[in-house]
Amino acid sequence: MSTANKQYRILELPEVITGVLALVIVLWEAFVAGFAAADAESALFKQGSHLLLCGVVWFNTLAVIVHVITELRHHRNPGRFLWLQLLTGIVASFVFSGGIYGFLPEYSLRFSLILSFLLGMYAFINIRALIQEKRVVGKRATHSRWSPAVVFFTGMLTMVMVSTLVLITPGASIVPISFTDAFFTCASAISITGLTSVDVGSTFTPLGKLVVLLNIQVGAIGVMTFSYFVLILVGKKLAVRDRLAISSLLDQQGVNIIPTLIKIVIFITFGVEIIGACLLYVLWQGAPGVPQDLLWFRAFFHAISAFCNAGITLFPANMAESCVQHDKLVQSVMMLLTLAGTLGFGVYLECYTRLRNKLTGKRNAVRWSTHTWLVVRATLFVMVIGSIGLCLLAVLEPSTHASTSDFNLWESIWNTIGRSAGFNITDISTYGPVYQIFLCALMFVGGNPAGTGGGVYAPLFIICLLEVVRVLRGQHDLELHQRRIARNTVERAMATVVLSTFWIVACTMVLMLMEPVIANSANGTIKLLFLEVSAFTTTGYSLVNPGDLCATSKYFICANMLFGRVGMFTFMLIFIKQKDPSPIRYPETRLPLS
């Protein structure tokens, strides 16, 4: 490292130390000192820890000011990241001063904690940059041996553990919650599944609900994608290794489009969620039966949960609550949000590229990409077939479910669109077994690649069906959209479907051994199969209450939810190292198959 870089890092040292210290104090005040209490503002303003936090923030801001002045004196550009640190520090110092000297209201304490948390995160970004520099030894860089799948899974598991520790603190829950239930809730949120063993709305404080919401949001767009977006936002450049990792996780070809793709993922996510939250806020304002306290948070929670296909709500009976069960305007907004998340960010990237080219006068390709072409048609195909199939089964199959014919059609469309979300407007256990098995098949198909939905993905399932047709017809290649589909794509689709099927069957048998009471009950096999499919495809529908499962079964379901979020094919690559193609090919032989 050069002398100039060493001086630069020395200037950052006070910022890093004070930033980490500020983060530690914020976490202590929030989770140990009972920040969720009603009189938290008055109590914390009298604590010495908050005065210490104020001094740390003031010192951090002073260190950043010195850093900026030093950079300007040496005729160097401080950079976007340093200016952002300075702005955050100045605002935080002003808010702290206003709270202490009384010219700002006491609720400004909450903003001071948020700003202090940001300063702590800036410190960790600086530490990460320092670690990356340390990886360079002389002129030779050391590369991580971990695959993107391992990093993604490790990041999810780490966030689940940290969030679990937060949820079991007194400030996060209204009633005491066990470690198992907290872990189950966090695993369901980070994997955007929707299975919960406790009632989120009545169990957690606003702080606990916020933790669950953050897990849903970060889990939907990916831990790595979110962290890389923060680096791009503050002006840091992504290494080629990081671009390759994101390209692998989001199923996108090429590394040059990754920064643009990450920005689109974030902006589309936040933009659609804000629009959905505003619509829900207007529709729920003054609505009978809908709690009006913190209505804006309730609207944002459900908008984010819908777009992320998480299926977690603050209503005790999910969307089957009487105040929203027959509100078709609210349900329409939820369905549109769910569908928007299911389409996949690859489709949004192509739409953005075409719109930008049209506005700048550049010529667009005549054809849409095969990916977008297939996603749109596969989504429409599954929606039409699923809605018609569920509606016919609801009418023709004997069951205890009672509803009118028009509601049957509406609920069939709702369940088909929500096949990867898990919101239910009626009790699915009242339907017949054929209906439930058909809904299992829809959950297995799921959403689309690079989206917030689960399952094996509709385009992959369609490719498998078309591959079977190709074999029966004796054709040489699988052709779509006047394009020949690559053999490795077809083989990966077939492997994903086959492996997922075997996994679900095996895990269902394990659940039957662990839950003999449910297995021996009426339709017990279907109930556990439904639960396993729902967990592995990250859907959230369930015929049994997850809270009634034993602790071992809950952890087993947690593992299924996390593995399902990673994807079966990607998950298998964690344990199986792919080999380079061998130049030697043995003579071909044929085997009797019939």
For residue 29, the cross-strand partners are: none
Q: Which amino acid is at 496?
A: T
Rg (CA), the chain: 26
Interior CA angle at 42 toward 38 and 44, to 5°? Answer: 95
Q: Is the pLDDT of residue 35 over 70?
A: no
Q: Given pLDDT bands bounded at 50, 70 and 90, which one contains residue 73? A: confident
pLDDT value, residue 146: 56
Three-class SS state of 312:
coil
Q: Given pLDDT bands bounded at 50, 70 and 90, which one contains residue 11? A: low
For residue 480, the cross-strand partners are: 483
Task: Retrieve residue 562's tokens.
Answer: 């996390």
173 φ/ψ angles, rounded to the nearest 5 degrees: -130, 145
pLDDT value, residue 511: 93
**Helix H or strand E segment including 483:** strand 483-484
Checking 569-577 for CB contacts under 8 A at 24+ apart, the result is 569/492, 569/495, 569/496, 569/499, 570/149, 570/152, 570/249, 571/149, 571/153, 572/499, 573/147, 573/149, 574/147, 574/149, 574/150, 574/153
Which range is least confidently modeled, 124-133, 206-215, 245-254? 245-254
For 146-198, how does the pLDDT look when each residue is reduced to its tens digit (9 = 90+)?
566 676 777 788 888 888 888 888 778 888 888 899 999 999 999 888 899 89
pLDDT value, residue 110: 66
Q: Given pLDDT bands bounded at 50, 70 and 90, which one contains residue 235? A: low
Q: Is the pLDDT of residue 132 over 80?
A: no
Q: Is the pLDDT of residue 390 over 60?
A: yes
User: What's the burial of 42, exposed, middle or buried (CB within 10 Å: 0-12/13-18/19+)?
Assistant: exposed
pLDDT value, residue 70: 83
Distance CA 339, CA 308 (A): 10
**Helix H or strand E segment including 137:** strand 136-137
**Helix H or strand E segment including 140:** strand 140-141
Contact call for residues 393 and 456 (beta carbons, < 8 A): no
Distance CA 457, CA 568 (A): 11
The alpha carbon torsion through 426, 428, 434, 440 (nearest 10 deg) reads 110
Distance CA 409, CA 394 (A): 9
**Helix H or strand E segment including 286:** none
Distance CA 204, CA 190 (A): 17
For 515-564, how does the pLDDT look when each residue is reduced to its tens digit (9 = 90+)?
999 999 888 899 999 999 999 998 888 899 888 899 889 999 999 998 88
pLDDT value, residue 253: 55
Distance CA 182, CA 120 (A): 25
Higher local confidence (pLDDT), 352 or 222: 352
Best CA proximity match to 412, nearest among 394, 397, 427, 396 = 394
Higher local confidence (pLDDT), 572 or 502: 502
Cα dihedral sign, 511-512-516-521: positive
Q: Given pLDDT bands bounded at 50, 70 and 90, which one contains residue 111? A: confident
Higher local confidence (pLDDT), 390 or 17: 390
For 558-585, how does the pLDDT look when each residue is reduced to its tens digit (9 = 90+)?
999 988 888 777 777 666 666 677 788 8
Q: Given pLDDT bands bounded at 50, 70 and 90, which one contains residue 104? A: confident
Best CA proximity match to 324, nearest among 298, 293, 294 = 298
Q: Is the pLDDT of residue 325 over 90?
A: no
Which range is least confidently modeled, 4-8, 423-427, 492-496? 4-8
pLDDT value, residue 224: 52
pLDDT value, residue 140: 46
User: What's the burial of 122, exposed, middle or buried (CB within 10 Å: 0-12/13-18/19+)?
Assistant: buried
Q: Which amino acid is at 402?
A: A
Q: Is the pLDDT of residue 370 over 60?
A: yes
Length of the chain: 594
pLDDT value, residue 463: 93
Q: Given pLDDT bands bounded at 50, 70 and 90, which one contains residue 227? A: low
Q: Given pLDDT bands bounded at 50, 70 and 90, which one contains residue 385? A: very high
Strand residues in 536-580 grouped as ranges (E): none
pLDDT value, residue 141: 44
Cβ atoms within 10 Å of 157's Cβ, excluding its own: 15
pLDDT value, residue 225: 62
Three-class SS state of 136:
strand
- Average model confidence (pLDDT) across the chain: 81
Q: Given pLDDT bands bounded at 50, 70 and 90, which one contains residue 71? A: confident
User: What's the burial of 529, exposed, middle or buried (CB within 10 Å: 0-12/13-18/19+)?
Assistant: buried
The percent of residues above 70 in pLDDT, for the chain, comes to: 79
Highest-scoring range by mean pLDDT, 80-84, 228-232, 277-281: 277-281
195 φ/ψ angles, rounded to the nearest 5 degrees: -75, 130
Cβ atoms within 10 Å of 291's Cβ, excluding its own: 13
Best CA proximity match to 309, nearest among 448, 173, 435 = 448
479 φ/ψ angles, rounded to the nearest 5 degrees: -120, 135
> Assign residue 523 a region: left if phi > 0, alpha if psi is -120 to 50, beta otherwise?
left
